[in-house]
Amino acid sequence: MADSHVQPGARIVVTGGSGFLGRHVMAALAARGYANAVTFRSSEHDLTREADVTEMLGAFRPEAVIHLAATVGGIGANRRYPGTYYFRNLQMGALLMEHARRAGVQRFLSVGTICSYPKITPVPFREDNLWDGYPEETNAPYGLAKKMLLVQSQAYRQEFGFDGVNVLVVNLYGPHDNFDPDSSHVIPALIRKCVEAVERGDEEIEVWGTGKATREFLYVEDAADGIVSALERLDTSDPVNLGAGFEISIRDLAEAIAKHAGFRGRLVWDPTKPDGQPRRCLETSKAEQLLGWRASTSLDDGLARTVAFFRDEVRAAGRVAPAAR
């Protein structure tokens, strides 16, 4: 690890380290020998409060920060809480990076989102396209709030020499995802619908939109590996895409999930519900060039593991109450 920006003994704080992506990042850090990586819950340190940010940095004295913490949700949640999503994500990122700079943190990795890209972007999305238009309306407040961390990183590097780096992560899925129907993204939402439909013997399930929109999905363990690679190797504040390098229509995705869940009924599409951004797929050659990283888990394998996790650990443990019929 001679070329790494972060040494194995470094004190690393991972915000959001107890969440879906965070627990996998913590595992990836441990697997690479980082024994002093820590995290905390928002009930301990609320990053939207300046006093909590300074208290957390004083308590842990990190040499590096991986900022994953975010207020996130699917299309429905983004439409209901645009102001909340904008304010909380902007506040967390801005306060944390500013006080990390003041506290002498040596390296700061911001994990951004594909939602920051313009609504109409040539496919595959290239990092150079990031400022070519306004994001898709249903998640623009969230996407723009996270995008400001990129601006802040570049500005702080220019003025203060602050070592802030940025990755943009495509839609994630995998074990420990959020399966709550009120706030989950498309893969966990469809897995839950299909598994519960099989349990009840339903003959059909409703799916939002037309099914024509396309998305790219990255298995969460691959994403965690890419994030740790960026922490170690990235030399610029310019953004780097982390993705799987392929796209699939929501219709084909739903059919694949139904197959893995054993649901053989009808998928009923509701075109009155939004599709979101028409197409999403990232160009990922920069990650391979700068980080030596590429995704390794196929969608078929990833879906099989995620369905098994929901059945074996979520449903079996009763951690998700049955959805209303």
- Catalytic residues, which ones? 142
Q: Contact 148/89 with Cβ under 8 angstroms? A: no
Q: Contact 195/315 with Cβ under 8 angstroms? A: yes
Spatial distance between the Cα atoms of 189 and 182, rounded to a whole number of angstroms: 9
Spatial distance between the Cα atoms of 206 and 154, rounded to a whole number of angstroms: 44
Cβ-proximal residues to 124 (8 Å cutoff; 6+ apart), any chain: 245, 281, 282, 283, 284
Closest CA to 64 of 105, 9, 23, 122: 105
Prior bond to 141 cis, omega within 30? no
296 φ/ψ angles, rounded to the nearest 5 degrees: -125, -5
Spatial distance between the Cα atoms of 315 and 311, rounded to a whole number of angstroms: 5
27 φ/ψ angles, rounded to the nearest 5 degrees: -65, -40
Helices (H), 134-249: 140-160, 186-200, 220-233
| Structure token digits, residue 60 | 């842990």
Q: Contact 168/147 with Cβ under 8 angstroms? A: no
